Amino acid sequence: MSLRHALLGLLVDRSGSGYDLMKLFSTSLGNVWAATQSQLYGELNRLEAAGLIEVVAEGPRGRKEYALTGAGREELHRWLTEKEGEKPQRNEMLLQVFFLSQLTKEQSVEWLLHQADVAAGQLAALTRLDASIDWDGGPISLGGRLALEYGLRLRAMEEEWARWAAGQVIGPASPEGAAEAADTADGS
């Protein structure tokens, strides 16, 4: 139930409407937590019913501007300090890796190099994002910087891993791969 906490966190130091919050999910925050518009408005209503946020202003087009209540601030703090057990993990890419043997060696290598390219592309996108943000002393900026650095390290790791894995598939010594033996200069 972390969408709830994402919303509380965003409302900590500025009030905003669902529409405002949506824009944050589509940009910076979307890199660590995704949410659809549909989900967001529903959750805002539930948060208000639970007394964790309240409407502090109403604007044109039915705009409702929300702010944290004391209870909301407490809940956010509780969530940040609790230690929880490990959550179930899911990584579709790794699931596919598990069953990579269903493909031919050539297909597997191609697949892994594609993953490397995807990771490289994500790394480039994060690098661009990094350059585009002015890291002045905003309140979210420390956390944002740390999260971004995680992303940079993660994608770099993924690219390296995928290229390494492609090498593993080809094999430390692949004697039967005669088709691609263009050069006979492999020593030792």
Partner DNA sequence: GAGGCCATGTAACATGTTACATGATTGT
Partner DNA sequence: ACAATCATGTAACATGTTACATGGCCTC
Write the binding mask 28 to 67 for DNA: x where contact by CB under 7 A, - elsewhere: ------xxxxxx-xx-xx-------------xxxxxx---
Which residues in this chain contact a second copy in the complex, by CB under 8 A? 2, 5-6, 9, 12, 29-34, 76-77, 79-81, 83, 86-92, 94-103, 107, 111, 114, 118, 139-140, 142-147, 149-150, 153-154, 157-158, 160-161, 164-165, 168-169
Please state whether 28 falls in left (phi above 0), alpha (psi between -120 and 50) or beta.
alpha
- By C-beta, is 42 or 51 nearer to DNA? 42
The residue from 8, 10, 18, 122 that contacts DNA (CB under 7 A) is 18
**Which residue from 45, 56, 63 is spatially nearest to 14, judged by alpha carbons?**
56
Are the beta carbons of 7 and 44 closer than 8 angstroms?
yes
1 binds DNA (CB under 7 A): yes
If the CB atoms of residues 102 and 184 are measured against a second copy, the closer one turns out to be: 102
In the complex with a second copy, the residue whose CB is nearer, 30 or 51, is: 30
> For residues 92 and 186, which CB has a smaller minimum distance to DNA in the complex?
92
Which tokens hold the place of 84? Answer: 């929880």
In angstroms, the CA 187 to CA 181 distance is 13
Q: Which amino acid type is present at position 114?
A: H
138 interacts with DNA by CB under 7 A? no
Phi-psi region of 31 (alpha: psi -120 to 50; beta: other; left: phi over 0): alpha
Q: CB–CB of 135/145 below 8 Å?
A: yes
Phi, psi (degrees; rounded to nearest 5) at 179: -60, -40
Nearer to DNA, 39 or 168 (CB): 39
Give the tokens for residue 164: 């390494």
Question: Which range of residues in 13-21, 95-103, 116-124, 172-180 is near DNA by CB under 7 A?
Answer: 13-21
**Least distance CB 49 / DNA (angstroms):** 11
Distance from first CA to last CA of the chain, Å, rounded? 58
5 binds, among DNA, a second copy, none (CB under 5 to 8 A by kind): a second copy
Beta bridge partners of 16: 66
Q: Which residues bind DNA (CB under 7 A)?
A: 1-3, 17-20, 22, 34-39, 41-42, 44-45, 59-64, 88, 90
